[in-house]
Amino acid sequence: MEPFVIAVPDAVLDDLFRRLAATRWADDFANEDWRYGANVAYIKELAAYWQDSYDWRSREKRMNAFSHFRTDIDGVPIHFIHERGKGPNPIPLILNHGWPWTFWDYQKLIGPLTDPVAYGGNEIDAFDVIVPSLPGYGFSTPLRVPGINWWKTADLWVKLMDRLGYARFATQGADWGAFISAQLGHKYADRVEGIHIQMFLPLDTLTGGHVDRAEFEPNDLPLFEKSKLFFAEEAGYMSLQSTKPQTPAVALADSPVGLLAWIVEKRRSWSDCQGDVESRFSKDDLLDTVMIYWITESYGTSARYYYEGLHTPWRPFHNRLPVVEAPVAIAVFPQEVVLSPKRWAEKYYNLQQWTPMLAGGHFGPMEEPQAVIDDLRRFFHLRR
């Protein structure tokens, strides 16, 4: 494992600005509400800000304020932040992002979790925080090993934590990170202090697993309809990335504006922003995400993560109930894209804490960071 500093060559930035200036824009009409996808007028506005006002060097400096490392595990390059906690007994905590996320979506959690006193908390609630980039995402590139998906990532994370000297650890995650965390609690329950997730689905969801309608209480039926609507209206990206990920990769590796539209549309649709994406993410926040994918040329391998999940199916490590035996906390954000009922969760997970959040959507650590911090502290306070 070696220290790593983010340092993007000037030539990469110069090439980006040339491409932005040469954009050929798609025509758009009757799309003020984004019903057809990304609204071109807004993407133009954001692209203009990218060219004229966004300062990558200042954002790069902010990222480099944390301790970054890179290592190789079984031929897979892994980038991660590792920050030690300031307290008498920090719990090692690995934070797992998803798509279209990056490690930087956890930026607002790292300081309060590692140094709680500095943020008005108690030193006994300190964590050693590890924030990896998923294989094939961001600086965990270039990925040249096929077959790497979320459940294989869980195996890699156990090896990573071994290298860091942690026999036991905790884990948190959303999107793919929720699946990774749940797999750690399923296969490695003896190693895991507890898991904290915000999206909770069967581990075989990508290959046909689902929560049966009968599991939904009458009051929970709107959740069932919400999930059906998501898979009917919002899952086109999933079908494409699960079957032919290299085709969009060819286009999005060439067009920064194309990548911008592909990612920002999901940030708007999946967050609790009520149609105003900048009520949850600043322009700088949105462009940070796009930039990390762009400068690392990682969209293609991030999209393949879906293909590998579908074509290398999950198989249970054991057949016991609950499926996830490590202690589990679930944070229920009201605008999460897919929500399952508590009655099912109590059977599938060793559920110890259930927290309905007042606001927030799919990107909880960025949308409602303090709520996530408070929920993590509460869950692990009694497990120290």
- Just list the catalytic residues: 175, 306, 362
The two tokens of residue 193 are 């202090």
Q: Could you give the CA distance from residue 324 to residue 345 in angstroms, rounded to a whole number?
A: 10
The two tokens of residue 255 are 């067009």
The two tokens of residue 10 are 């000037």
Of 162, 185, 163, 182, nearest to 174 by C-alpha is 182
317 burial via Cβ count (<10 Å: 0-12, 13-18, 19+): middle
Q: Could you give the CA distance from residue 45 to residue 335 in angstroms, rounded to a whole number?
A: 26
Beta strand pairing call for 76-83 and 91-96:
unpaired
Q: Could you give the CA distance from residue 301 to residue 76 in angstroms, rounded to a whole number?
A: 12
For residues 131 and 144, is the Cβ–Cβ distance under 8 A? Answer: no
For residues 371 and 260, is the Cβ–Cβ distance under 8 A? Answer: no
What residue type is assigned to position 142 of the chain? P
Which residues, other chains included, contact 257 with Cβ-Cβ below 8 Å and sequence gap of 6+? Answer: 19, 20, 23, 25, 43, 47
The two tokens of residue 107 are 């930026």
For residues 128 and 90, is the Cβ–Cβ distance under 8 A? Answer: yes
Distances 327 to 188, 191, 320, 365 between C-alpha atoms, Å: 12, 11, 15, 21
The two tokens of residue 126 are 């300190």
Q: Could you give the CA distance from residue 81 to residue 104 in angstroms, rounded to a whole number?
A: 10
For residues 6 and 140, is the Cβ–Cβ distance under 8 A? Answer: no
Chain centroid to Cα 11, Å, comes to 29
Residue 326, CA atoms < 13 Å, CB-side half-sphere: 27
Give me the residue label for tokens 């054991």: 318
